[in-house]
Structure formats: C-alpha cells, structure tokens
C-alpha cells in the first residue's frame, strides 16, 4: 500500500491519494463533533460550553502533534521519492523516538499547568470545574494523540492514505459509542466525553504503530540505517519546528480569541463552541488537501520533477474549490439546522443565534481559505518554510487584533468578522510567494 506519487496522471494520482484522507477527516471530525453534540444534548448547555472553553487549549497540544506530523512527512516523502530507503527508515525511527520523548515532556507540563491555563482565558465560574476536568483527562492521553498523528504522517508520506483511514474509522466509531455510553448511559458528563476520546485514541495509536513497523519491514534497503540519528533529527526539525510554531501560534491566537469570547458569557461560549467545531470540520478538510499536495510536491521535487509538482498544485486548487461548495451550502443556508445539532431543547436563543451568525459570516470565504491552504501545502512540500510562515502569521495576527478592535464596536459579532479579513490577506500572500517561484530554485539547480 506504499505508493510512488511521482508516476501517472498528476490529477488522477492526487485524487486517489487524497480521497481516503478526506474520508479520514470526516471520521476524525465526527469524532470531535460527537464530543460537543453528546455533551450539549445529554449534559446541557453548560457542558457544551465547558468542552468548548477548553478546546483552544487542547488545540495547542494538537498543533504540536500536527506540526511534527508535517515535518516528518516532508522529509520522508522527499527521501522516498529519491529512492533513498535506508535514510528514509532512519528518518522514520528518529521521528518516532523523538516524538515519544517530546510527548511525555509536554504531557507532564500540561497536567501541571491545566488549571492555570483555564484561569488565563477567563473561563466563567459556572463551567470552570468541568472545563478543567476535561482538559486534564485530554492531556493525560496526549502521548497516544501525538504518536498516532506522527504515524499518520509517515503513512501518507509513503503514499499510503488508506491505512490511516481504516484506523480512524474504527477509532471514530468507537469514540462515538463510548461517548454515548459514558454520557447518556452512565451520566458521567464532561468526564465521560474526555475518557471516551482517551480510550479510542489510545487503541488507534497502538494499532497504527504496530502496523507501521510491520509495513517498514517490507521495504528492502541495501544500505544500513540507524534507529536514531541527530543529523536526521536536525533535518526533520528544520521543517517540523516552523510547522509546530505555525500550528502553535494559530492555537495561541485562538486562545486570545477564546478569552475574548469568554467575556460574553456561557451562552455565547456554547454557541461559539458549536460553530467553531463545524468551522474546524471545513478547515481541516482544506488542510488535509494541503497536506496531500505537500506529500505530492515533496515526492516529486525529491525526484526532480518540478513541472509535475506544479500540475499537482493546479489539481489541488480545483479540489479545494469543489470541497468548499458543500460546506458553504450547509453552513450558510442551513446554519440553524447545523447549530441545533449541538443544542438541547432548552438551549438559549443567544447560544443558537451566536452559532448561526458565526457560520453565515465565515462560510462564504471558504473558497478563499481553501486556495490559501492548498498553496501553503505546495510551499511546505518544497521546504519554503519562511514564505509559509509569513502568510500564516499574517492571518493570525490580523484575526487577533481585529477581533479586539471590532468587538469593541459590534460585541461578539465583531469577533467573527475578523476571520474573513485575515483569510483574504493571507491568501494573497501565499499565492504571491508561489508565483514568485523562489521555492523551486534549489530543485531546478539539482
């Protein structure tokens, strides 16, 4: 199931490679959305708000896992495309060992600081205890989350987007079943939601790692490979650290925004929690497509095929625009129905209207952000991390600053208005960096 992305029709190859990744996203987001839906339906508006209040903090930890995933995937894809299988195995094992150590350190730090983080974002008293409890259990399972994400990145860098899908389907269905059992059956509330995620993610992680090691044994290498290499760690870190910083700074920015949202009370937090989970679903789909383009680009540039990498980007942009259409229709036209999925019958009008307003403001701009994230994938696959980070940080900084400025005039609605502005300007920058062509220079020289 390991696949070479450097041969065949670029558009067909990219479609076949990314479709399993899209299906994976659907199940991954069902997994995340189920937490909020079941909390809101069976434990009430405050439980939904508690899960939502801790969400930006959990995203910091997820950001580090995703950034590591991206860093290792680019290097492994380039080595795989260049047929340097010994170095590729060294990169895989170096990534797994360093990720294990880093995840333990972060897990310990998170458990010690979880209470302070919830206080830092001004979590309202009526949801503080539940929010802190959810966060502690979530961080306790961070080792599994981290290693699972890294394993997924390795699979996709080898052209295998189906194996992660199978694990994710099983994990997602298991998480939803456990959510329902723990919350609706045992009435464990927010703790039940957190433990369901912990158990499902843990099982998926162990199975994914065992499968990855078994799969690597089938790749024959003439040269020797190392279980750990500081030189390879440095090479991976050159890509991974900017990716981690990019993902982390976005999450830190979201914490500032969450802190601002928290000032409007638990009903607004509940509405925002529902809407941001739906918004995350769409953005994750675009990001996943960008990751597919990144692996495609890295393999082809590793093989010296610059023109083929450009054709992959063209196909990716078309796929991104097509993907934006159903999300726009669902959120802009049927926003009320979507938000109501998260709400119990006694949910407040404020919570419902907050979610609907957010979706109506941001969903028309999904066409813009889809292009940005696909182009970012191309830049990242080429190792053009400076350009990638400038475009991303521009979006983040603008969104945070505008949130506070516009909130002073339009209250909570002003926060939602900051999204489209940041997306548009960052998209223009990403396209400019691609059009300028600096990313291809070193590959042309080779």
pTM, entire model: 0.70
Tell me which of 8-12, 308-312, 358-362 is least confident.
8-12
Q: Decide: 6 and 81 in contact? Cβ < 8 Å.
A: yes
pLDDT tens digit sequence for 70-101: 778 888 888 887 788 888 889 999 999 999 99
pLDDT at 446: 44
- In Å, how far are 40, 264, 265, 411 from 270, measured between CA atoms? 9, 11, 9, 16
Round to whole Å and give the CA distance between 85 and 76. 9
* pLDDT, tens digit (0-9, with 9 covering 90-100), for 230-250: 988 888 888 788 777 777 777
pLDDT grade, residue 209 (50/70/90)?
Answer: very high
Picking from 25-39, 61-75, 150-164, 182-196, which range would have the lowest pLDDT averaged per residue? 25-39
Neighbours of 15 (CB within 10 A): 16
* Neighbour-count burial for 256-293, b at 16+ CB within 10 Å, e otherwise: bbbbbbbebbbbbbbbbbbbbbbbbbbbbbbbbbbbbb
Q: At 81, is the secondary structure helix, strand, or coil? A: helix
Range of weakest confidence among 27-31, 126-130, 357-361: 27-31
If you average pLDDT over every residue of the chain, what do you get?
85
Predicted pLDDT of residue 324? 96
Residue with tokens 């521009």: 394
**3-class state of residue 383 by DSSP:** coil
Q: Is the pLDDT of residue 325 over 90?
A: yes
pLDDT digits (tens, 9 = 90+) for 272-288: 988 998 998 899 889 88
| Spatial contact of 273 and 127, defined as CB atoms under 8 Å apart | no
Structure tokens at 238: 């050159």
In whole angstroms, give the CA distance from residue 18 to residue 83.
22
Which phi and psi (to 5°) does residue 196 adopt? -60, -45
Q: What average pLDDT does range 384-399 have in this prediction?
A: 81
C-alpha atoms less than 13 angstroms from C-alpha of 45 in its C-beta half-sphere: 21
Residue 356 pLDDT grade (very low, low, confident, very high; cuts 50, 70, 90): very high
pLDDT at 364 (0 to 100): 96
């Amino acid at each position: 199931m390991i696949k070479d992305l450097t041969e065949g029709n670029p558009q067909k190859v990219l479609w076949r490679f990314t479709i399993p990744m899209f299906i994976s996203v659907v199940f991954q987001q069902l997994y995340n959305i189920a937490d909020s839906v079941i909390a809101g339906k069976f434990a009430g508006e405050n439980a939904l708000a508690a899960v939502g209040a801790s969400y930006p903090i959990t995203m910091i930890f997820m950001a580090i896992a995703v950034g590591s995933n991206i860093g290792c995937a680019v290097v492994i894809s380039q080595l795989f495309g260049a047929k340097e299988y010994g170095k590729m195995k060294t990169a895989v094992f170096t990534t797994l060992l360093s990720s294990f150590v880093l995840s333990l350190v972060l897990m310990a730090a998170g458990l010690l600081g979880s209470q302070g983080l919830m206080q830092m974002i001004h979590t309202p008293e009526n949801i503080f205890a539940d929010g802190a409890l959810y966060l502690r259990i979530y961080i306790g399972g961070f080792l599994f989350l981290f290693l699972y994400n890294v394993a997924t990145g390795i699979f996709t860098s080898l052209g295998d987007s189906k194996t992660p899908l199978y694990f994710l389907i099983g994990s997602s269905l298991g998480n939803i079943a456990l959510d329902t059992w723990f919350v609706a059956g045992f009435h464990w509330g927010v703790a039940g939601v957190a433990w369901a995620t912990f158990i499902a993610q843990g099982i998926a992680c162990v199975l994914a790692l065992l499968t990855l090691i078994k799969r690597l044994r089938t790749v024959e290498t003439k040269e020797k490979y190392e279980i750990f290499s500081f030189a390879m760690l440095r090479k991976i870190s050159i890509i991974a650290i900017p990716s981690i910083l990019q993902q982390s700074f976005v999450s830190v920015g979201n914490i500032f925004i969450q802190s601002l949202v928290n000032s409007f009370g638990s009903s607004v937090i509940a509405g925002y929690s529902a809407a941001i989970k739906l918004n995350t679903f769409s953005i994750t789909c675009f990001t996943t497509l960008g990751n597919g383009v990144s692996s495609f680009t890295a393999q082809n540039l590793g093989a010296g095929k610059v023109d083929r990498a450009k054709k992959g980007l063209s196909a990716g942009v078309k796929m991104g625009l097509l993907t934006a259409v159903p999300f726009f229709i669902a959120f802009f036209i049927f926003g009320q129905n979507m938000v109501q999925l998260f709400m119990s019958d006694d949910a407040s009008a404020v919570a419902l209207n907050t979610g609907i307003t957010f979706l109506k403001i941001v969903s028309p701009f999904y066409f813009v952000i889809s292009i940005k994230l696909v182009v970012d994938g191309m830049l990242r696959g080429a190792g053009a991390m400076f350009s990638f980070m400038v475009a991303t940080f521009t979006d983040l900084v603008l969104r945070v600053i505008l949130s506070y400025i516009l909130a002073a005039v339009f209250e909570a609605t002003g926060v939602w208005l900051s999204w489209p502005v940041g997306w548009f300007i960052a998209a223009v920058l990403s396209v400019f960096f691609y059009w300028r062509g600096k990313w291809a220079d070193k590959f042309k020289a080779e």
